[in-house]
A and B are shown apart, each in its own frame.
Chain A
Amino acid sequence: MQAFLHQVLSGFATGGIYASVALALVMIYQSTHHVNFAQGEMATFSTYMAWKMITIGFPYWVAFLLTLLFAFVLGVAIERIIVRPFYKAPVLSVIAVFIGLLLIINSLSGALFDYTIKPFPSPFPSDAWYGGPYLSPHEVGMIFVTFVMLALIFVFFRFTPLGLAMRAAAENPVSSRLCGVRVGWMLALGWGLAGLIGAVAGMMTAPVIYLDPYMMFSVLLYGFAGALLGGIDNPWGAVLGGFIVGVLQNIAGAYLVGTELMVTVALVIIIGILVIKPSGLFGRPIVTRV
């Protein structure tokens, strides 16, 4: 029983990472109906920036905040410069652009920081009082950071004029323009925020799985599974989906399939959802009149 509880709770901790990635994917999907395959690589690259800053002597939290800023600017720049010209392009071209981005950023991480696996520090000391029999201090800290971030994002979207404008721009660009909202910039801001969320996920997960250019590959897969499970058009559903996937993955890894087949769990979830309930648990089915 104790072992089971441990699996559930630590699944909850990794689930927070998947939830963050799922939220980042959904934010971009909602406004443009594109799934950003490069989301994970952007996060990895940002995590490398944090690693570099920490290595040359920046205090952890300073490096953390600077990395958030960097990830935000990176997201905005990628949207403005690379993605924007393709908004009216056919969906296959857009997919090609995203795969290209994935490969470019991945190679850039490798070229700049080489492919050796690097340890990444945790800001939460391993003997801290908040560690316990079920969760390590890092896992507790990870859950805490994830929740603070999710809460801030929620407050931002729910209670600020800019958050309102971003929701409106995603839902109805034409009406939003007629209210004076600069819709193009709202999309870029969405990319910036998604980049920032991804960077938090990257920095929180790197101490557990170590830093290398392919670090976020499986995380993106789980995050995508979480987003589909919760409903790709519903941000809070996707967050919940991410947590569910984290717990399921851990339990399946411990009791059903073993660690070797853990990534398969994500794929099984993705295919299962697409077959049984394509709109996800909390998503709305799309009905089109023809």
Chain B
Amino acid sequence: MTAILETRGLSAAYGPTRVLQSIDLSVPERGIVTLLGANGAGKTTTLRALCNMMVRVSGEIRFEGRRIDGKATEDIVRLGIGHVPDGRGTLVSLSVEENLRLGAYTRRDARVAQDFELVYGYFPRLKERRRQQAGTLSGGEQQMLAISRALMLRPKLLLLDEPSFGLAPLVVQEIFRILRTINEQEGMSMLLVEQNANIALELANEAYLLETGRIMLSGPAATIGSDESVRRAYLGY
């Protein structure tokens, strides 16, 4: 399988503080890869480094075979990388619909209207609230909005930063079910950062385990899930 995203020797730092040490990872086309690790391991930083946002980056990043390291965030996004950021990044003073329109900001094709319906089909609650100010949505709804905003870009690769964070278990299940549907129906590749290792390993085909900025372990999700030490440290049984 060819990789849609590949990094080689990816390092990142906030000012003088190095957070990532030479990460090699690859996301196969149409695949779902999850990046697991404890708090502070560098999961969010990895996603930020891929989009050249808020961190100093070195190393090689290839998207669809082309180098994208060093490009500006907005140019990377325009290549087809959707990013559902840490903390959801809701534009709180805009309406739900305006948030989605902003997601489609770079697109000039005629399928935008169709994609509104697609996204509202995945998340009917957003349709009910489309005129509402986005800041008044609940946490789960804002997460749905963040995913939808990224989907409106029609990305080839979706980066997801802890979509389960702070949400009720039922809402988490709903969101992950929809992510699986999107992956199957649209063939969208995903790189998923999660603390909730159980649910992430269920969704993903492959997994990487990050510890203090290095990759400790990688392999098929099922293998990683049955690894003794991983189970003890991250799955709690």
Q: Which one, A38-46, A115-123, A148-156, A161-169, is touching chain B?
A: A161-169
Known A161-B105, A165-B105; contact A179-B85, beta-carbon cutoff 8 A: no
B91 touches A177 (CB 8 A): no
List A contacts of B106 (CB < 8 A). 179-180
Most buried by A among B73, B77, B83, B103: B73
CB within 8 Å for A165 and B102 given contacts A171-B94, A181-B74:
yes
In the bound complex, how far is the Cα of B106 from the Cα of A164, in angstroms?
A: 12
The listed residue (A161, A171, A180) touching B91 by CB distance below 8 A is A171
Residue interface bits B95-132, CB-to-A below 8 A is 1, else 0:
00010011101100000000000000000000000000
Smallest CB gap from B83: residue in A: A178
Name the residue of chain B whose CB is nearest to the CB of A158: B98
B177 at the interface (CB under 8 A from A): no
Q: Which of B54, B74, B92 has the most CB of A within 10 A?
A: B74
Q: B73 is contacted by which of A161, A164, A171, A177 (Cβ under 8 Å)?
A: A177
Judge if A126 is at the interface, Cβ distance under 8 Å.
no
> Does B2 reach chain A (CB closer than 8 Å)?
no
Q: Which of A174, A176, A182, A183 contacts B102 (CB 8 A)?
A: A176
| B83, chain A: closest CB distance, angstroms | 5
A-side interface residues, number (CB < 8 Å): 17
B153 close to chain A: CB less than 8 A? yes
CB distance from B95 to the nearest CB of A (A): 10
Partner of A178, one of B77, B92, B101: B77
Q: Look across to chain B and name the residue whose beta carbon is closest to the beta carbon of A165.
A: B105
B89 at the interface (CB under 8 A from A): yes
- Establish whether residues B102 and A168, one from each chain, have CB atoms under 8 Å apart when the complex forms: yes
CB proximity to B under 8 Å, residues A150-205: 161, 164-165, 167-168, 171-172, 174-183
**Is the pair A172, B91 in contact by a Cβ cutoff of 8 Å?**
yes
- Cα A177 to Cα B74 in complex, Å, equals 5
Complex Cα–Cα for A176 and B82 (A): 12
Let me know if B94 and A168 touch, CB within 8 A.
yes
B74 contacts which chain A residues (CB < 8 A)?
A: 177, 180-183
Give A86 Cβ to nearest chain B Cβ, in Å: 20
Could you tell me the distance between the alpha carbons of A179 and B150 in the complex, rounded to whole angstroms?
A: 7
Across the interface, which residues of A come within 8 angstroms of B90, CB to CB? 172, 175
Residues of B within 8 A of A178 (CB): 51, 53, 73, 77, 82-83, 85, 89, 150
Pairwise interchain contact B153-A171, C-beta atoms closer than 8 A: no
The answer on a CB contact under 8 Å between B94 and A179 is: no
Query: A residues near B, CB below 8 A?
Result: 161, 164-165, 167-168, 171-172, 174-183
10 pairs of A and B residues whose beta carbons are closest in the complex: A175-B89, A180-B106, A177-B73, A180-B77, A178-B83, A179-B102, A180-B78, A177-B74, A168-B102, A180-B74
A-B contact pairs, 30 of them (CB 8 A): A161-B101, A161-B105, A164-B94, A164-B98, A164-B101, A164-B105, A165-B102, A167-B94, A168-B94, A171-B92, A172-B89, A172-B90, A172-B92, A174-B89, A175-B85, A175-B89, A175-B91, A177-B53, A177-B74, A178-B53, A178-B89, A179-B102, A179-B103, A179-B105, A180-B77, A180-B105, A180-B153, A181-B105, A182-B74, A183-B74
